[in-house]
Each structure stands twice: as C-alpha cells, then as structure tokens.
Copies of this chain bind each other. A is one copy, B any other.
Amino acid sequence: MNGPDPLLKLVADSGPLCRCCDLEDSAFCAGLSPEGLRRLRSIRGNLTCEAQETVFREGDNAENIYSVVQGCIKLSKLLSDGRRQVIGFLFPGDFFGFSPSGLYGYTAEAISPSTLCRFSEQRMKALLATTPELEQRLRTRLVMELAFAQEQMLLLGRMSAREKISHFLLMLSRRAVARHDPPSPIAVPMSRLDMADYLGLTIETVSRTLTTMKKDGLIALPSPGVVDLLDRDGLHRIADGRDGG
C-alpha cells in the first residue's frame, strides 16, 4: 500500500527492465541513498531467463551475484548418485550467488520466466568495501537467510510430511503477502518434484499428503499451480506441531 517511491525517478533512466530498486525494502539494494544506488547501478547488468533455464551450476566459478527482479529461482544441490536437495526458492527481492570458496555451492535454475540483476562478484566486493550502507544491508539479509536456513533444518530434521507441507504452504503465503499478493489462494509455481526435493520427501508422498489435506478441508486445489488455503489456522496448528502430527 505504499505510494510511489520518490527514488523511482532516480532509477527511471536505467531503463524499464530493471526494477530491483523499487522492490521496496525487500531487496538488499533497496532503500539505498541516491549515491549508493548510483554506485550499485554502475556495476549492474541484466539477465532474463526462460522457465527451466539454468543460471549457473554447482561447481561453476562464482563470478556473479544475482538479485531476483521477477519470477522464481530454484537453488539445489546434488549428491553423486542423483539425489537432490532444493535449498531454496527465490522470489523478487531475494539475492543469490555468494560463495565462500570461489565455486558456487549450488545450481540455480529458473522455475518461471525470470528477470535478474547481475553483478560481477569482484566489482560487488569492491563496491561493498567502499559503501558501508550496502555492506550493512547485505549483512542484515545474510542474517535473515541464515535464520531461514535454520528454520528449514528444523523442518527437514524433525517434521512429518504433513507438517512439512503445511509449513511450506504457509511460507509461500507469507511471502506472497510480502509481495502484496493475497495470502490465499497462492501461486505454487514449482512442480511436485521440486516441492519434494525441497521438503526431503518423494513426489508420491507430496501428492498423497496434498490429497489428504484436501479431503480434510485444509486446502483446495482449484487449478494446477494454485493452492487455496481454506483453513489457515488449522495449517498453522499442524505446521507448529500443535495438532498431534
């Protein structure tokens, strides 16, 4: 419900494609001072991806940092025998690509057609070293990411399939709200396989669990890619382990 942002005028000359600077306070690059914004823009590139397109692969040289402008990006890690763990779904305002080793620790693929901001990792580091406000913003975001990852560990290590799915749907709903979409029905752009690999389950278990939850009146599946959260209190009770399983 925010009115037009005065900063929009500043970014107008950067072309209509990149909106990374009017993603309100969600993007790590948002809300910067005009000077910080100018600096960041000076090293920015754009990238558009088709659905299913790979941005980079686990093990590639970590040459770029990315920020999602539009679409949905999936990050995943592979075991040598093909088992896969999806470690995150990224929406507008999220960033990815930082690596402690010089090699990307995960593969990044677009789930839906996506627009990204791209920053050379070297230039970004140089810019961070001279732009404290940017560095601080990034730290805040990294701390958030870490807390989110820890939450996910609790889910993966200790929750039942039903709890996992409930938690996942509520997370998507929360993020939809953060993007000023309604809390329900929600867009679920990822396949059953991606959901399964995110939650440490199999496609069959995801499918079965959704069916059961539908029968229980917790959700409805009006069309592919859409889930209606009919009983969000019930979902919360399940997700928080307050519902006997």
Contacts of A105 in B (CB 8 A): 147, 150-151
Interchain CB contact under 8 A, B241 and A98: no
Closest residue on chain B to residue A104 by CB atoms:
B147
Interface centre among A80, A147, A242 (most CB of B within 10 A): A147
Interface of A is mostly: helix
Indicate the member of A100, A154, A241 with the most B CB atoms within 10 Å.
A154
Residues B150 and A153 in contact, CB atoms below 8 Å apart: no
Q: Which of A130-138, A184-192, A225-233 contacts B (4 or more CB under 8 A)?
A: A130-138
Given contacts A77-B150, A81-B241, A84-B158, 10 further A-B contacts (CB under 8 A): A87-B153, A99-B143, A100-B140, A100-B147, A135-B139, A139-B142, A142-B143, A142-B146, A146-B146, A153-B156
Show 24 residue pairs from A and B whose CB-CB distance is below 8 angstroms, ordered by the A residue: A77-B151, A77-B153, A77-B154, A79-B159, A79-B240, A81-B241, A83-B158, A85-B157, A87-B153, A100-B143, A100-B147, A105-B150, A106-B150, A128-B139, A132-B135, A135-B136, A138-B139, A139-B139, A142-B143, A142-B146, A146-B149, A149-B149, A149-B150, A157-B197
